[in-house]
Amino acid sequence: MALKIKKSNDITWLNIVDINEEDLKYLADNYHFHPLDIKDIRGEAQRSKIDIYPSYAFIILRFPVTYKDSNLIGSHELDIFFGKDYVITIQKKKNRTLNNYFYRVSGNKRLQHEIFQGKATFLLYHILEELYRSSFTMIDWLDKEITRIEAEVYEESTRQAVKDLAQARRNVLSFRSIIDPQRFVIRTLVNLKKEYINGDDQIYFDDIADYIERIYNLLNNHKDLIDGLNETNESLTRHRLNRVMRILTIFSVSLLPLTLFTGLYGMNLRSLPLMHNEILVWWIFGGLGAIIIAIFIWLKKKDII
């Protein structure tokens, strides 16, 4: 059974990783949760939500994770049962931050005294604070990614910049879609009035709501930055393409006189002008070449090409 229990001051924290039938039987024998909540635990991944009951609340939250093989952001589900004197955290997949915090609390008497006091709301607040605080490390990672991509854009690494911009945009949108439903969940806790939570406790969840709003606003800022970099990259790409097309156009037009003379004197005729004066013909070609080179030098100085 992957169930760990920590109890202090009549407050219980049950932490379950990869819940199985044995764990579910333990919950059924010791608590009276609604069958629909048990169904949610057994079922596929859910969006963040909160269900309110007279004696407890059932909360589903999702927290972002990065996949090292792809640098893409995904999410892991965390189910929480929260009553007057207990908090039950159920991890569908292992949450390293939560597990580390559980073992840190288990081995630290001073920390236990700090968070296991009053009702279970204070314990839940500390758990959520730890999880949302750890989310800021991913915000910092996105900051570094955007800074790196910005350098790529201005170094004109077009192909790599386009790929990285698409990935960064996907990560920001995924992160935002994870956080957005949780704003409603936490706001519900802030305004909840039940036996297991009162007005004095709600101020703690208001602090968690501030965490979420900060994360959400930072993600919106990141999205605006990525959109701006994408527009900049497209502008630079169009500018480079226009420059290439301009050079090719100038080059082809400049060669028209030479092409004309070459075509003219390449014909198998006996009565072409100056055809018997080879030196003069070469002077004409040389003069046209010099004019073309002078035009290119002038265009270069004017920064036209």
| Domain-embedded: residue 75 | yes
| Domain-embedded: residue 245 | no
* Coil, helix or strand at residue 281: helix
pLDDT confidence of residue 80:
94
Residue 16 burial (CB count, 10 A): 22
CA pair distance 153, 161, nearest whole angstrom: 6
| Domain-embedded: residue 248 | no
- Whether the per-residue pLDDT at 174 is higher than 80: the answer is yes
Confidence bin at 68 (pLDDT 50/70/90): low
Answer yes or no: do 270 and 216 share one domain: no
pLDDT confidence of residue 182:
92
Highest mean pLDDT among 19-23, 71-75, 209-213, 300-304 belongs to: 209-213
Answer yes or no: do 98 and 195 share one domain: yes
Answer yes or no: do 153 and 262 share one domain: no
- Whether the per-residue pLDDT at 28 is higher than 90: the answer is no
| Domain-embedded: residue 246 | no
Tens-place pLDDT, residues 70-119? 788 888 899 999 988 899 999 988 888 999 999 988 888 888 888 887 77
Answer yes or no: do 222 and 74 share one domain: yes
- Whether the per-residue pLDDT at 281 is higher than 70: the answer is no
Rounded alpha-carbon distances, angstroms, from residue 110 to 104, 106, 116: 11, 10, 10
| Domain-embedded: residue 244 | no
Instruction: Give percent of the chain with pLDDT exceeding 70.
Output: 91
CA pair distance 105, 109, nearest whole angstrom: 7
Residue with the larger pLDDT of the pair 258 and 206: 206
- Whether the per-residue pLDDT at 274 is higher than 80: the answer is no
Count of structural domains, the chain = 2
Strand 72-83 versus strand 86-91 pairing type: antiparallel
pLDDT confidence of residue 95:
87
| Domain-embedded: residue 249 | no
Average pLDDT over residues 173-186: 92
Could you tell me the CATH number of the domain that includes residue 180? 3.30.460.20
Answer yes or no: do 137 and 174 share one domain: yes
The conformation of residue 49, written as its DSSP 8-state character, comes to: E
Answer yes or no: do 221 and 295 share one domain: no
Answer yes or no: do 265 and 207 share one domain: no
Highest mean pLDDT among 58-62, 230-234, 238-242 belongs to: 58-62
- Whether the per-residue pLDDT at 264 is higher than 80: the answer is no
Structural domain span for residue 293: 255-301
CA pair distance 46, 52, nearest whole angstrom: 17
Say if residues 3 and 14 touch (Cβ distance below 8 Å).
yes
| Domain-embedded: residue 250 | no
Answer yes or no: do 275 and 202 share one domain: no
CA pair distance 187, 47, nearest whole angstrom: 16
pLDDT confidence of residue 179:
93
Residues 6+ apart with CB under 8 A from 44: none
Answer yes or no: do 54 and 190 share one domain: yes
Highest mean pLDDT among 172-186, 195-209, 277-291 belongs to: 172-186
Tens-place pLDDT, residues 132-170? 999 898 999 999 999 998 888 888 777 788 888 889 999
Average pLDDT over residues 242-253: 78
Q: Compute the mean pLDDT over every residue in the chain, rounded to the nearest whole number.
A: 84
What are the beta bridge partners of residue 52? 57
> Alpha helix (H) ranges present in the chain?
21-30, 35-42, 96-106, 109-115, 120-154, 158-190, 199-254, 256-265, 278-301
Answer yes or no: do 183 and 144 share one domain: yes
